[in-house]
């Protein structure tokens, strides 16, 4: 969720869409070439980290961690036949977190000299001491065994930052041209590239060097009908991924041919642009949906967001406890429901797990931002709520001894806190394809792609739209429909889950800028699933006329 965009904290990219877009990005504009510079080596970072650890210990810290981070971004933003903007940013600094007098303290600096970083370490201890006055109970930190000097890298094949800008621009121009030739009036296409070079060290004896890559290639295609004064859009079916530039190879083996072409581990953006233009045009002639109850067949490109909003967020422990009450909200999934061991979150077919290790996912790292080795754990087992998402200073509240490893900060200057890991729906065990699923539906709607989405602050009531809607009658798709949104209640919805396709249909979707906290921080997270069916869900018609 990201409801309030604070203009001061965001980089403004003018000229995109209606009023420019605001990107939650920090950093200083640099040349593209600078993005491929090596940066500070691990040995120098270790030396600086040791200065922090020693200084903080001497100042009275009982625990210290330091993150020396270099954050790189490149955005290439285009429309139709031209580039609107190219943005390269770099941000380099260190965030220091300590426990002193049983209380957290944090300070950050971009002065990465031994003196500068030692000063920040002493500041962090002073902040902890000052805050101790307001602390009700001391921080309890789940133990972590130091791992010594280790490293981890997103398994990329092609570093996107090493691909020349001109090649990226040419590629997007080809994408835009494909849409325009196929009948689009407008297309906005963008490449977002992110590289986080994070060096973490803690007084537990860990020195962790990580190189994290993410990529997203969204587009929106618009088809206008001037005569009727109406317009329709179709967004691209790419997913933000934890992969390199090879994601844009559009390998044939990664394509899923059905009602449209969908993509697994790589994406054919040119093909999708052409299809998007045709489908946006076709929306003008599509029938407006008759409201009522329908069985929904939800493609992973759509269902990922429903998982994110209705399972991912309500199971964040800090929300459950009330720490996010004034912003993101709290949660219906209260501790008593979990403790009962009987809370039926979904039908017995529903198995949902958290995972910070899935290859290609946005959340995949070797270690989280407090040095905990990442893992997979169950959240919902056979429909029953079994666990939450918690970090080192929280797991004791669940009578657990081990952090789940889902702590994250969006910058060296932000304080790390609990963030959503990849949360995914396990595929069905029996062989079952989307075609089989559609054949079994009498009256339904097949939904592809994410559209508008909204959910209440405790995550009960939600409404979701989509990109493409197809009406199903007696096991067959009878045509494209429009003006569709479904409304449901989280527990009702997941208990209405009657079938899930097998693992051959499993795909990862994701969201690039998920917001949480005050001041707000963003994070990127993936959600995997196969196509799934939900029975008798309330569908509304969203068509309105304004005079």
Tell which positions 21-80 bind another protein, by CB under 8 A.
28-29, 31
- CA–CA distance, 317 with 332 (Å, rounded to integer): 11
Fill in the per-residue mask, 302 to 331: x = in contact with another protein (CB under 8 A), - = not in contact: -------------------xxxxxxx-xx-
User: Residue 226 corresponds to which tokens in the numbers above?
Assistant: 């001037």
Q: How far apart are CA 536 and CA 310, in angstroms?
A: 18
Which residues 473-512 are close enough to bind another protein by CB under 8 A?
483, 485, 487, 489
Shortest distance, position 136 Cβ to another protein, whole Å: 5
Residue 527: half-sphere exposure toward Cβ, Cα within 13 Å: 25
The number of beta carbons lying within 10 Å of the beta carbon of residue 111 is: 12
Which residue, 18 or 253, is less far from another protein as judged by CB?
Answer: 18
Alpha helices, DSSP H, located in 368-450: 434-439
Q: Which is nearer to another protein, 47 or 130 (CB)?
A: 130
User: Considering the complex, what minimum distance in angstroms separates the CB of residue 325 from another protein?
Assistant: 4
Number of residues engaging another protein in binding (CB under 8 A)? 81
Q: At what angle do helices 114-131 and 42-59 cross, to 10 degrees?
A: 40
Distances from the Cα of 249 to the Cα of 81, 142, 207, 264, 490, angstroms: 22, 43, 35, 12, 37
DSSP summary character for residue 110: S
- Judged by CB under 8 A, the stretch of 112-120, 230-238, 270-278, 386-394 that binds another protein is 230-238
Q: Does 154 bind another protein (CB under 8 A)?
A: no
Residues 180-209 touching another protein, rule: CB under 8 A, are 185-186
User: Which residue number, 332 or 388, has a Cβ lying nearer to another protein?
Assistant: 332
3-class DSSP assignment, residue 274: helix
How near is the Cβ of 77 to another protein at its closest, in Å?
11
Q: If residue 319 lies in a helix (H) or strand (E), which one and from where to where?
A: helix 317-321
Q: How far is the CB of 145 from another protein (least distance, A)?
A: 28
Considering only residues 115, 134, 252, 342, which one is a binding residue for another protein as defined by CB under 8 A? 134
Binding test (CB under 8 A) with another protein, winner from 140, 153, 340, 452: 452
Q: Give the total residue count for the chain.
A: 547
Choosing from 54, 159, 463, 498, the residue that interacts with another protein (CB under 8 A) is 463
Please give the residues from 339 up to 398 whose contact with another protein meets the rule CB under 8 A. none
CA angle 153, 407, 309 (to 5 degrees): 105
Among 71, 106, 267, 469, indicate the residue that binds another protein (CB under 8 A).
106
Q: What's the rounded Cα separation, in Å, for the pair 534 and 492?
A: 10
Q: How far apart are CA 435 and CA 375, in angstroms?
A: 34
By the rule CB under 8 A, 230 interacts with another protein: yes
Q: Given the rule CB under 8 A, which of 218-226, 339-347, 396-404, 506-514 is the region that contacts another protein?
A: 218-226
Question: Whose Cβ is closer to another protein: residue 381's or residue 396's?
Answer: 396
Whichever of 118 and 124 has its CB closer to another protein, that residue is: 124
Element (H, E) at 167: helix 165-181
Stretch that binds another protein, among 50-58, 130-138, 196-204, 369-377 (CB under 8 A): 130-138
44 vs 518, beta carbon nearer another protein: 518
H or E, element range at 165: helix 165-181
Q: Which residues of 407-418 are buried (b: 16+ CB within 10 A; e: fewer)?
A: bbbbbbbbbbbb
- With contacts defined by CB under 8 A, name the span among 18-26, 337-345, 352-360, 419-427 that binds another protein: 18-26
Residue ranges in 266-295 that form contacts with another protein under rule CB under 8 A: none
CA distance 462 to 355: 24
Q: Which one of residues 461, 502, 535, 536 is an interface residue with another protein (CB under 8 A)? A: 461
Nearer to another protein by C-beta: 152 or 327? Answer: 327
Establish if 224 lies at the interface with another protein (CB under 8 A).
yes
C-alpha distances out from residue 353 to 379, 484, 508, 527, 528, Å: 5, 29, 13, 10, 10
Residue 20 binds to another protein (criterion: CB under 8 A): yes
Of residues 527 through 546, those in contact with another protein by CB under 8 A are 538, 540, 542-546
Residue in 54, 62, 334, 480 binding another protein, rule: CB under 8 A: 334
- 145 contacts: CB under 8 Å, gap ≥ 6: 204, 205
Name the one range near another protein by CB under 8 A: 16-24, 348-356, 431-439, 466-474: 16-24
Angle formed by the axes of helices 269-283 and 165-181, to 10°?
A: 30
* Closer residue to another protein (CB): 42 or 321: 321
Separation between Cα atoms, residue 212 and residue 54, nearest integer Å? 28
Nearest CA to 528 among 304, 267, 242? Answer: 304
> In this structure, are residues 113 and 53 in contact, taking their beta carbons and an 8 Å threshold?
no
The CB-of-518 to another protein minimum distance in angstroms stands at 4
Q: Which of the residues 395 through 424 are near another protein (CB under 8 A)?
A: 413, 415
């Amino acid at each position: 969720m990201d409801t309030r965009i604070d203009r001061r904290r965001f980089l403004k990219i003018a000229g995109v869409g209606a009023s420019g877009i605001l990107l939650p990005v920090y950093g200083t504009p640099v040349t593209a070439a600078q993005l491929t510079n090596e940066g500070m080596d691990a040995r120098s970072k270790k030396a600086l980290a040791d200065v922090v650890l020693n200084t903080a210990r001497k100042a009275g810290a009982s625990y210290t961690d330091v993150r020396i981070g270099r954050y790189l971004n490149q955005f290439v933003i285009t429309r139709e036949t031209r580039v609107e903007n190219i943005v390269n940013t770099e941000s380099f600094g260190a965030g220091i977190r300590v426990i002193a007098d049983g209380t957290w303290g944090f300070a950050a600096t971009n002065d990465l000299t031994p003196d500068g970083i030692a000063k920040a370490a002493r500041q962090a201890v002073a902040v902890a001491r000052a805050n101790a006055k307001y602390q009700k109970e001391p921080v309890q930190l789940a133990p972590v065994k130091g791992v010594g000097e280790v490293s981890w890298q997103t398994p990329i094949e092609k570093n996107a930052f090493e691909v020349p800008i001109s090649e990226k621009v040419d590629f997007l121009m080809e994408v835009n041209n494909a849409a325009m030739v196929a009948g689009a009036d407008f297309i906005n296409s963008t490449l977002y590239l992110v590289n986080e070079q994070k060096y973490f060290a803690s007084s537990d004896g860990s020195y962790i060097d990580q190189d994290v890559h993410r990529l997203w290639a969204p587009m929106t295609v618009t088809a206008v009908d001037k005569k009727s004064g109406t317009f329709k859009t179709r967004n691209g079916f790419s997913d933000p991924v934890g992969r390199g530039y090879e994601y844009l190879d559009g390998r044939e083996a990664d394509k899923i041919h059905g009602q449209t072409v969908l993509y697994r581990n790589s994406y054919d953006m040119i093909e999708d642009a052409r299809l998007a233009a045709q489908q946006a045009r076709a929306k003008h002639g599509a029938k407006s949906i008759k409201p009522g109850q329908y069985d929904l067949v939800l493609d992973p490109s759509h269902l990922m967001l429903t998982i994110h909003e209705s399972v991912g967020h309500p199971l964040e422990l800090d929300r459950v406890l009330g720490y996010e009450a004034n912003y993101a909200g709290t949660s219906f999934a209260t501790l008593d429901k979990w403790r009962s061991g009987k809370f039926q979150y979904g039908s017995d077919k529903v198995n949902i797990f958290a995972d910070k290790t899935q290859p290609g996912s946005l959340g995949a790292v070797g270690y989280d931002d407090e040095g905990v080795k990442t893992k997979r754990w169950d959240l919902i087992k056979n429909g029953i709520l079994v666990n939450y998402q918690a970090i080192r200073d929280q797991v004791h509240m669940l009578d657990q001894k081990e952090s789940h490893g889902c702590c994250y900060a969006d910058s060296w200057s932000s304080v790390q806190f609990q963030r959503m890991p990849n949360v995914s729906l396990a595929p069905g065990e029996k062989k079952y394809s989307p075609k089989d699923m559609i054949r079994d539906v009498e009256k339904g709607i097949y939904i592809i792609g994410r559209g508008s989405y909204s959910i209440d602050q405790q995550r009960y009531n939600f409404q979701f739209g989509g990109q493409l809607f197809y009406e199903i009658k007696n096991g067959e798709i009878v045509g494209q429909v429009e003006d569709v949104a479904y409304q449901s209640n989280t527990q009702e919805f997941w208990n209405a889950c009657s079938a899930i396709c097998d693992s051959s249909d499993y795909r990862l979707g994701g969201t690039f800028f998920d917001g949480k906290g005050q001041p707000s921080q963003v994070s990127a997270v993936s959600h995997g699933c196969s196509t799934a069916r939900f029975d008798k869900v309330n569908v509304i018609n969203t068509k309105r006329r304004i005079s």
